[in-house]
A = this chain, B = another copy of it.
Amino acid sequence: MKKIKGGVTSPKGFKAAATAGGIKYQNRDDMALIASDVPCKVAGTFTKNIVKAAPVKWCQEIVKNSENAQAVVVNSGIANACTGTQGYAYCQETAGEVAKVLNISQNAVLIGSTGVIGKQLPIDKIKVGIQNLCKIKSDLLESGTKAAKAIMTTDTAEKELAVEIELDGVTVTIGGMCKGSGMIHPDMCTMLSFVTSDVAISKDLLQKALSVVVDDTYNMISVDGDTSTNDTVLLMANGMAGNTLIKEENDDYHKFIEALKEINTCLAKKIAGDGEGATALFEAKVIGAESKEQAKIISKSIITSSLTKAAIFGHDANWGRILCAMGYSGAIFDPEKVDLFFESVAGKMQIIKDGVALDYSEAEATKILSQEAVTAIADIKMGGESATAWGCDLTYDYIKINADYRS
């Protein structure tokens, strides 16, 4: 597997574009298009929030019932959530417009929206934006980057990535972009993530691969414990790499899964590290677990704890809050057997052994915790399973951003 510079336009046959639709923001791109030259198989995972945005409902329908998809159109600024039948009708109009301009079926057009909940889309502006997007779409790497920028809301940087793998001597490429910074506590998948590939694979296996990977990546991050109404991951595969069609769980399938996991782990970590107001990526690794499920529950509880997140912001080795968060996670373990370590580029040190504090140096711990990415490792000494979850620190800027987001 080789990481390459690029994003959604890296796989063969994928183009992208961005434009300033004037949906909410001034003087910046806020609409993006990804389109494939040929029809794609598509897989998707969506929020488990029962309050689902109109574009989520639209995409669920396409992923379930359409044989193919060929384009995704995304806007930032307005989430098109809690917008009733009018909101869903706007999805139809949006897809209809893309279909008309690209000369494809309306049922081949996926839609993503992110931003304020409860406002209706300015559908006329959306239509003008679509005309522009379809005119300028290109397979240049910079088009992918522009698209990744256009879907940002409170994100501070665009998030994109591409990898290449070889399947039977043929180069297969996967590219992805995503956005997400607040209302991040995915239960199925996170805000918006779009992954493209030129792999040839059956629709069933494409969905299976995505579902497996999402569980270990997007579903293991949290910024603020709020599961969004719009969480969507879409994976489009157009088969243009020319590899032998993957239609069973063979070696090629597993190589593809591995690459897909790499892409989505990196994208998910980018979301966690760019959490609203965050100054640090905070990783929690639980090892020595009886089951993977147990390790997941505990690691996610650690990165979700507001008190732990505030301590990370303060570079404070307040390990009691970590043990506390493990204790209320719902998973069963023996607190008096837990070993805890902190690790970063500045070093690694053990803080507690068998549930009780060692005589560690606070200065040394603070140095380790003052880096841009810090990890807490908890060994619960019950078995051989492990899991990792990713979050961020809780800062003044999270409050600043969210006390006045709408205005």
Residues of A within 8 A of B (CB): 48-52, 79, 81-84, 116-118, 182-183, 185, 187, 224-229, 304-307, 310-311, 313-314, 316, 318-321, 323-328, 332-333, 335-336, 352, 354-357, 394-396, 398-400, 402-407
Docked pose: A31 CA to B196 CA in angstroms: 63
The secondary-structure label for the interface of chain A is loop
Taking a contact as CB atoms under 8 Å apart, the answer to whether A82 and B50 are in contact is: no
Closest B residue to A225 by beta carbon equals B306
Closest B residue to A314 by beta carbon equals B403
Most B CB contacts (10 A, CB to CB) among A183, A187, A328, A355 go to: A328
Taking a contact as CB atoms under 8 Å apart, the answer to whether B356 and A50 are in contact is: no
List, in ascending order, chain B residues with CB within 8 A of A50's CB.
Answer: 327-328, 332-333, 335
Question: Smallest CB–CB gap between A389 and chain B, Å?
Answer: 15
Taking a contact as CB atoms under 8 Å apart, the answer to whether B404 and A316 are in contact is: yes
Closest B residue to A185 by beta carbon equals B328
Docked pose: A131 CA to B331 CA in angstroms: 42
Taking a contact as CB atoms under 8 Å apart, the answer to whether A324 and B399 are in contact is: no
Contact of A355 among B82, B319, B354, B394 (CB under 8 A): B82
Contact of A335 among B51, B228, B396 (CB under 8 A): B51
Q: Tell whether A310 pairs with B226 under 8 Å between CB atoms, given A82-B357, A320-B81, A320-B118.
A: no
List, in ascending order, chain B residues with CB within 8 A of A224's CB.
Answer: 306-307
Q: Which 8 A-B pairs have the closest CB atoms?
A: A117-B320, A51-B327, A314-B403, A310-B402, A227-B328, A49-B327, A224-B306, A51-B335
Contact of A404 among B304, B314, B325 (CB under 8 A): B314
List, in ascending order, chain B residues with CB within 8 A of A118's CB.
Answer: 319-320, 323, 352, 356-357
Taking a contact as CB atoms under 8 Å apart, the answer to whether B225 and A225 are in contact is: yes
Q: Tell whether A51 pairs with B326 under 8 Å between CB atoms, given A182-B307, A306-B225, A320-B79.
A: yes
Closest B residue to A401 by beta carbon equals B310
Taking a contact as CB atoms under 8 Å apart, the answer to whether B406 and A318 are in contact is: yes
Closest B residue to A331 by beta carbon equals B50
List, in ascending order, chain B residues with CB within 8 A of A51's CB.
Answer: 323-324, 326-328, 335
Docked pose: A191 CA to B99 CA in angstroms: 58
List, in ascending order, chain B residues with CB within 8 A of A323's CB.
Answer: 51, 82, 117-118, 229
Most B CB contacts (10 A, CB to CB) among A227, A324, A406 go to: A324
List, in ascending order, chain B residues with CB within 8 A of A313's CB.
Answer: 399, 403
Question: Smallest CB–CB gap between A326 and chain B, Å?
Answer: 7
Most B CB contacts (10 A, CB to CB) among A182, A224, A320, A325 go to: A320
Taking a contact as CB atoms under 8 Å apart, the answer to whether A405 and B117 are in contact is: no
Most B CB contacts (10 A, CB to CB) among A224, A319, A326 go to: A224
